[in-house]
Amino acid sequence: MKLPVYHGRISREETEDLLASIGKDGSYLIRDSETVPGAYCLCVLNQTFVHTYRVSETSGKWLVQTLKGVVPRYFSSIEKLLVTYEKPGQGLVVPLLHPVKTNKIQNQNEGEIYLQEEREYMEMLGI
């Protein structure tokens, strides 16, 4: 996955620490699921609690498991999914407001290169 908010294989604890250090409701990132191979987790901070939503792809369509009772919605790309959930009232506890980017560069020849050990918070410039 090549998204600025994708943090790869970081643990739930690392995710919670990172989002807590930012401290803004609506801060979010995507990481690999620790329990479901091939799935991702959309992690969102709201009032010091990190809410985790499973994100998966089936037959080229992306789905996020939202609040109970919300009709599932499918998206042609994860970017479209993220843009939709930036708006209030879409089924998440809080809209996606503050993307937490990773400090990795994707290089086709060399793989992932870490620019620095710590991740920093930056505003996303659009998807």
98-99 vs 27-32, strand pairing mode: parallel
The pLDDT score that the predictor gives to residue 41 is: 95
Q: Indicate if the pLDDT at residue 114 is higher than 60.
A: no
pLDDT in tens, 23-63: 899 999 999 999 999 899 999 999 989 999 999 998 889 99
Q: Indicate if the pLDDT at residue 111 is higher than 70.
A: no
Question: Residue ranges per domain, the chain?
Answer: 12-114
Q: Indicate if the pLDDT at residue 81 is higher than 90.
A: yes
Looking at domain 12-114, its CATH architecture is 2-Layer Sandwich (3.30)
Rounded to 5°, angle at Cα 78 from 16 and 109 = 85
